[in-house]
A and B are shown apart, each in its own frame.
Chain A
Amino acid sequence: MEQKDLGTYAQNTWCPGCGNFAILNAIKTVLGELNAEGLPLENVVLVSGIGCHAKIVDYINVNSFYSIHGRVTPAAEAIRLGDPKMKVIGFAGDGDAYGEGIEHLIFAAKRNIDITMVIHNNRVYGLTTGQYTPTSPQGYRGRSTPEGTKELPINPLELMLASGATYLGRGTSHGIELLKKLFKEAILHKGFSLVDVLQVCVTYFNMYEYYDKRVYELKDHNPLDYQQALNKIREWDYNRDARIALGTFYKRGSPTFEEGFFKQAVPPPERMEKIRLILESSI
């Protein structure tokens, strides 16, 4: 399958100015480039969850799977394990992946399974009209917290680093060129990769100006150095005002989960016999 425009007939229903447009257009460009470089688009599967972000799969004309809330990661893992040819890219919101689905994300990072997760981190539940998420800053006033949240946010990149993720990057929806670079790196990375996108929800948490004033791109940073990555990740805790680093924080080569998994695969004719022997030997 070859095509120049990966668009679909689905009408886009995101709010004007939504940060999701930058992610959509960046990923379409990257998929087009990878296709031109020899990646068949039929070997790409996109997975999305529940939230405004999830509609992204309706707008890109490649194979996709709509999962349920918090379950983008396990669906992506299963597709990857089912067919090692597949490039699996999961799109999830912060409420989705860092909330209900956080355990799946931690274990996918721990396994180093070769999938890419793009997190539309707008730090608010937009689709349900503005409740706080795990990455909303303390004091965020939303529909469910009219007096402001009392909790501190988590730092998802710090958590992912500690969990064993082998590629970690961060961009913003106001920097489409960097997003393209990060998405391409993450997709080509062998192992678990995650790009946290500070994606702006214009309706319930408009942070364009806030981010524009504070973000900077990492320079002279060695992504192979765990300690350097940790220091840069901890520079901003998703809560207090600080400089916000963007770029590739961490990148490490490591065996993937499926490398060991696929070795044991047995072709169908011999499979039943093999299963019988295993069962007999363990009784």
Chain B
Amino acid sequence: MDKYRCTVCGYIYDPAAGDPTQGIAPNTPFETLPESWVCPECGVTKDMFEKA
């Protein structure tokens, strides 16, 4: 599972950790995050992320 970096703020999505702030369980791959998911740091959508 790849980590992804937000190109706006530098936040790294780590699939191993998930994102508890938006109810994303650990071990959730970036690709399967819902389209409504946004960067927990700066609020941009998934399309602003690239592979870390």
Contacts and interface: CB of A to CB of B under 8 A. Distances in A.
Majority secondary structure of chain A interface residues (helix, strand, loop or mixed): loop
Nearest to A25: B10
Nearest to B6: A21
A21 B7 contact: no
A176 interface: yes
Nearest to B5: A176
Majority secondary structure of chain B interface residues (helix, strand, loop or mixed): loop
Count class of interface residues, chain A: 10 to 19
Given A16-B38, A17-B48, A26 B10 contact: yes
A18 interface: yes
A26 B38 CA distance: 20
A66 interface: no
B33 interface: no
Nearest to A174: B7
B10 A17 contact: no
A211 interface: no
A22 interface: yes
Interface in A141-176: 173-174, 176
Contact of B41 (A19, A21, A26): A21
B7 A25 contact: no
Interface in A1-52: 12, 14-19, 21-22, 24-26
A14 B8 CA distance: 12
Nearest to B48: A17
B7 A18 contact: no
B24 interface: no
B44 A22 contact: no
Interface in B1-52: 7-11, 38-39, 41-45, 48
Contacts of B11: 25
A14 B42 contact: yes
Nearest to A173: B8
A18 B10 contact: no
Contacts of A24: 9
A25 B10 CA distance: 7
A176 to B, nearest CB: 4
B10 A176 contact: yes
Residue from A12, A19, A22 whose CB has the most chain B CB atoms within 10 Å:
A22
Contacts of A12: 42
Contacts of B8: 17-19, 21-22, 173-174
Contacts of B9: 21-22, 24-25, 176
15 contacts: A15-B43, A16-B39, A16-B43, A16-B44, A17-B8, A17-B43, A17-B48, A18-B42, A21-B8, A21-B10, A22-B10, A25-B11, A173-B8, A176-B9, A176-B10
Interface of A: 12, 14-19, 21-22, 24-26, 173-174, 176
- Top 6 nearest A-B pairs (CB, nearest first) are A16-B43, A21-B9, A21-B42, A176-B10, A17-B44, A25-B10
Given A16-B38, A21-B8, A21-B9, 6 more contacts: A16-B43, A17-B8, A17-B42, A17-B48, A22-B9, A22-B10
